[in-house]
Structure 1
Amino acid sequence: GSKDVAFPRLNSIGFWIQPLGFILVAKIAFLRPQYWHYYDKTSFFLPVLEKNKVKELYSVSGEHARFATTDFLSSDSSFYLFWRSIKKLNYDNYKDFFFNPLKLSILKDVFLSPESFWYLADKVSNARRRKVYFSKCSSRTLTTSGWTFITPFSSNVKFTGYGAQDILLVSVVLAGISTTISFTNLLITRRTLVSPGLRNRRVLIPFITIAILLTLRMLAIVTPVLGAAVIMVLLDRHWQTSFFDFAYGGDPILFQHLFWFFGHPEV
C-alpha cells in the first residue's frame, strides 16, 4: 500500500533487491583499478638499486684475491651501483687479471648489476611494455563490452572473459527485478487508493503525477524486454545457446533492438 512507498519495510524483498544492482556496478568500479592496470608503479623496480641486499649476496666474492687491496663489493662506494654511464666506468690498477681482461673475469657482476640510471630506466620501460602486451593479449578476465553490452562481444567469453561482464549482466537483471517490484507497487497503490471519481481528464492533477504514472507504465512494458535480452546473453555465454552468435544462426543485431527498445524512451 501507500505506507510501503513512504516507509519501505525491511521485510519487503523489493527493499533489499533494489540496491544490489548499484552495489555490483560499484564493485566493478573497484575491481578494475585493482586487477586491471597496464603497468606497475616505478617504486616496484627501485629495490634493485639498494646496496644492502647486493652486499649480502656478494660478500663472499669480496674476499677474492683480485679485491684484496681495494674491496669494491663490500664498501659503500660499490662501483657498479653508482648512477653513471657504462662508458665512464674505470678500474684503476685492475686492467687485467692474470693476463685476462678484468671485465671478462667479473662479467656477470658487471652486466647483471644496475650500473647507471639509464639501466634502471630501460628496465622499467621494458617491463612496463611487456606488462601492457601481456595484459592486453591474455588477461581478459575483467574486460567489459561497454554500457550497451555490444554483442557478440558481451555474449561470448572469447572476447570478454569471466568476471566483470558477468557481474554487470547479473546486476542489470537484479536492477530490473527491483524496478519491476517498485513500479508494480506504485501502480497498484495508485489504482487502489485513488480518490473516488478522480480521472485524469476530469480533474487537473499535477503534471509530475501524470509524468510518473506514464513513466511507470513505460517501465512495465520495457523492463521485461531488457531482462529477457540480458538473460539470453548469459545463456549464450555459459550454456552454449546461440541467440546472438552469427556463426550458429543467431542475430547479433537482435540484442541491439531489444536493448534500445528499453533504452530509447529515457535516452
Structure 2
Amino acid sequence: MQTADYSDFKQSVLDQAASLRSRIRSGEHTGTTSGAAHSLIQGNVVILPADWAADFLMYCQNNPVALPLIGVSEPGDPALPELGRDLDIRTDIPEYQVFRDGARAETVTDIRELWQGDFVTFVLGCSFSFEDALTRAGLTVRNVEQGSNVSMYRSSIATRPAGRFHGNMVVSMRPFNGADAIRAIQVTTRLPKAHGAPVHIGDPSQIGIADLAKPDFGDPVTIREGELPLFWACGVTPQLALENARPPIAITHVPGKMLLTERLNEELAVL
C-alpha cells in the first residue's frame, strides 16, 4: 500500500473509531463490539486498586496466551495515551461489570462515580482483533455473520497462579470446516497479542465443556455439519480469577463489549 493510501486508510479507520466511541460515551451504543471498527485493536479491561496491581501484573505475565498485556495505566489516571489520544477508560466501554468481593454486583455504562484515585487499568488483547484478520483472509466468522456475540465457555484448562489470582481459562469458540480451520490456525498464530493459535480443537468435553449450545458468556452460534469447533483463550479469563481472588472492588468490561483503541491490528502481528 502506498504511503498516501495507507495514511488515508488509517485516518478513515480512526474516524470510524471516533464515531463509535462517541456513541459509546453518550450511551447510544451499549451492545457488542464484535465486527465493529474493522482493523483497530480491541481490548479486554481489568481495573483494580493499586495494592492488587502487582499480583495481577504477575498473573498476566504467567499467562500470556489468555492475558496478553497491551497497556497499563498510571494509578488513578483514566487515560491510556498509548492506546488512544482522548481515551477515557471511565466512559469508553459499552458496558462495565462491577465486582465486589469477587461477586458480580452490577453492570453500568459509565464508571465516573465509581472511580478511585488508586485505580490501575490493565488492557489485554482480544480475539475480536483476530476476527478482523480472519475476515480479511477470506474466512467467515460465524458470530460476525450472525450478528451475535461470540460464544464463550468456562473450561477445565488451569491457568498458572500468581499471588491471589488463580482459576481456569475461559475459551471462545468459532466453528470452521477442515480446510478453513487450518487457515484460521495459520492466521491467528501470527497474532500472539490477540491470544494466538487455538488452545483446543474438536471435542469440547476434553476441556470440560458439556454443551456448546449453552455458552457461559455471549451467544450460541450455529455449527454446521462437517464443521469443527476451534477454541481460543479468552480475555474473560481474568474475570474468573477475580471471583477467586475477591478484591474489595474490581471493574471489567461485560464480555463481548470491548475497549476500542486507536492502534491497528497489524501492530499485533508477528512477521
Task: Please give the TM-score of this superposition, normalised by the length of structure 2.
Answer: 0.19
Higher helix share: 1
Q: Which has the higher contact order (CA 8 A, sep 6+)?
A: 2
Which is greater in Rg? 1
